[in-house]
Structure 1
């Protein structure tokens, strides 16, 4: 394990994200858990560019999501597992300059159908969305798609969602928004 990987693992432990049960709690609607709670917790990335920081942080979030997907059956019964939703949300688009990176979050819900009906995720060609698509290609995370919600203009969030989680509703949204 190289120094960067050790620092990232320490970050996960410091933030309590090594306790997977956090990702399976039955929150009222959804929860958005940041990868880091303090800017100083990612100070070990300070020598990196904006793009490199974002790629590293997004990759770590995707690793966490994959780990959660692999362990979901240990936390959620078979009857309710199909309503579990997990993805990466990227926030702080308006003030990314403060830390020179975006804030990646693990976005979770045990009410997938309800959540998707409210988010109304869709494909678009916003600058933000295209930037994240470039990152995913660069870090070779091709099983994920990049989406925004219908309220993107007011609440800038970009979602990185595994293709297996998305249902036909998003595909229908994509076609109806063209």
Structure 2
């Protein structure tokens, strides 16, 4: 799985512009979890204007997934977990762009201080059987280095598809 070489410099610039290459940023304090988007303004994606929306969405997923292992590796040995969350499926349904984001947390974070479970114990995933999960899997060429999971929601407005490095 690779990012189209024609767009690698622009994605490197985008990652830098969004400060996603500041890997220590991910290890700082976080209340429960946070999601940092691959892009924050549509004009940042002007370099993809020659492509169809489907091609753009595929490249956005691939570029974010290509950056994910760097973040995960940087956090190894720390109280840290990161995965890619793909959202804005309501926009996708209307022919628009999806939004990849880097979802991260400290696994020891507890949503309920009286409950000993960490935040990851509250997440409910299922294999990618929705058209959204299948789109992400296809965009990543079903690469076995990535584990793709649908969330348990059904509303395209809040739905997420998650991409993890390694096993889950």
Give the alignment's TM-score, normalised by structure 2: 0.81
- Structure 2 unmatched ranges of 5 or more: 109-116
Q: In terms of mean alpha carbon deviation, does 13-22 or 111-120 score higher?
A: 111-120
Q: Distance in 2 between matches of 1:56 and 1:99?
A: 15
Partners of 1:39 and 1:99 within 8 A in 2: no
Q: Which runs of 5+ in 1 are unaligned?
A: 167-178
Assess, with a 3 A threshold, how the Cα gap between structure 1 residues 144 and 31 changes in structure 2: closer, same or farther: same
Question: Of Structure 1 and Structure 2, which has the larger fraction of its residues in helix?
Answer: 1
Matched residue SS, 1:42: helix
Contact 1:30 1:110 in 2 (8 A): yes
The whole-number CA distance in structure 2 between the counterparts of 1:132 and 1:59 is: 9
Question: What is the distance in 1 between the residues matched to 2:48 and 2:106?
Answer: 33
How many residues in Structure 1 have an aligned counterpart in Structure 2?
156
How large is the Cα RMSD of the aligned pairs?
A: 2.4
Contact 2:30–2:105, Cα closer than 8 Å, also in 1: yes
Name the TM-score, length of structure 1 as normaliser.
Answer: 0.76
Counterpart of 2:129? 125
CA distance in 2, matches of 1:56, 1:34: 15
In 2, Cα distance between equivalents of 1:149 and 1:4 = 30
Which range moved further: 120-129 or 94-103?
Answer: 94-103
